[in-house]
Amino acid sequence: MKNGKRTVKVWDPLVRIGHWTLVIAFFTAYLTEDDFLAQHVWAGYIVSAYVLVRLVWGVIGSRYARFRSFLYSPAKVFGYLKNLLAGKPQHYIGHNPAGGTMVAALLICLAGTAVTGMKLYAVEENAGPFAVAAQLMPTHSFSLVENANAEDDDENKVHKDLNFGHKVDKQAEEFWEEWHETFANLTLALVFLHILGVIVSSVIDKEKLVKAMLSGKKEIDDTYR
């Protein structure tokens, strides 16, 4: 320990493992949207599980994982950014005010992407948590009879059978698809800003943020709050 420098534990394993799992799941979901629906949906469920767990952890988790420790007023966020751009960055052990705001924005947009994805999945495939139970589908018994006569190579009919005669509501499909795409792209834009923020902090602030997200530890001195 020299110049008042010491190493502290900042990010607990749930935050770290959760973050890198989220990174993989988010990009997998983004890149599989077109041709690999099963993989897309599974990656989306992993993102959804992460968001749910992180929301709970923000209340009951370790010190720096709690929302209380990194949600600041807009005045504090702008004050922090002004100082950063002036080359006088304030140092924080946990998320700085700008980073904390970004974390909240990311979690909100990820939740929006996940919920609209599940609604779209229900409308298109009658599957997922918002699917209408098969027994309640008015076309159920009719469609089974209809499908008994379906030809094996008729993809549409087989598809219909798996969905118990589910008919796609085109208007609802367009609506949820639009919102799902908007949320996904908004999240992607925030991710770029998030990565840019991490790079800027690492350069101007000389902070080893990525290393800390891997090891959980940060080297701090008396200027940190």
The contact set with ligand HEM (CB under 6 A) reads: 15, 18-19, 22-23, 26, 29-30, 33-34, 37, 40-41, 44-45, 47-48, 54, 65, 95, 99, 103, 106-107, 110, 113-114, 117-118, 120-121, 124, 128, 177, 180-181, 184, 191, 194-195, 198, 209-210, 212-213
Q: Using the minimum distance from each CB to ligand HEM, give the nearer residue, 4 or 129.
A: 129
131: DSSP letter: P
Which pair of tokens denotes residue 143?
């469609």
Helix (H, G, I), strand (E, B) or coil at 217: strand
Q: Using the minimum distance from each CB to ligand HEM, give the nearer residue, 47 or 77.
A: 47
φ/ψ (deg, to 5) at 36 = -125, 70
Q: Least distance (Å) from ligand HEM to the CB of residue 176? A: 9
Q: Using the minimum distance from each CB to ligand HEM, give the nearer residue, 32 or 146.
A: 32
Q: Using the minimum distance from each CB to ligand HEM, give the nearer residue, 150 or 216.
A: 216
Residues 27 and 36: their CA atoms lie apart, in Å, by 13
Helix (H, G, I), strand (E, B) or coil at 165: coil
Q: Least distance (Å) from ligand HEM to the CB of residue 116? A: 8
Q: Using the minimum distance from each CB to ligand HEM, give the nearer residue, 93 or 146.
A: 93
Query: Which among 156, 195, 77, 171 has a CA at the least distance from the CA of 120?
Result: 171
Alpha-helical regions (H) of 61-139: 67-70, 74-85, 97-125
Residues 199 and 207: their CA atoms lie apart, in Å, by 9
Q: Least distance (Å) from ligand HEM to the CB of residue 163? A: 13
Q: Least distance (Å) from ligand HEM to the CB of residue 200? A: 12
Which pair of tokens denotes residue 63?
């010190």
Q: Least distance (Å) from ligand HEM to the CB of residue 105? A: 9
